[in-house]
Amino acid sequence: MGKIIKQHKKAIIYFLGLLLFVPWIFTLNLGNFDDTFTLRMLQHSIPQIIRLDALDVHPPIYYIIVKLFLTLLL
């Protein structure tokens, strides 16, 4: 038994790490795709937001308002 553990030490460590990490990742509130998309859009300038959002079915006013609000707030 000790020989098997010694031979597969890295694999056992990775496996135990996954057993601890996987349940923990599901406890995080990572938001959803819409929140992530909005945060990525806000990294651009207003003209870029308008250009990037031209392909979407919704007008870019939401992203512009949120960007202005966060610019004033932060």
Cα R_g (the chain), whole angstroms: 22
For residue 48, the model assigns a pLDDT of: 93
For residue 18, the model assigns a pLDDT of: 81
- For the entire predicted model, the pTM comes to 0.54
Low-confidence ranges of the chain (pLDDT < 70): 1-2, 24-31
For residue 47, the model assigns a pLDDT of: 94
For residue 56, the model assigns a pLDDT of: 78
Nearest to 59 by CA among 50, 71, 67: 50
3-state helix, strand, coil in the chain (%, to 5): 70, 0, 30
For residue 25, the model assigns a pLDDT of: 64
For residue 45, the model assigns a pLDDT of: 94
For residue 27, the model assigns a pLDDT of: 67
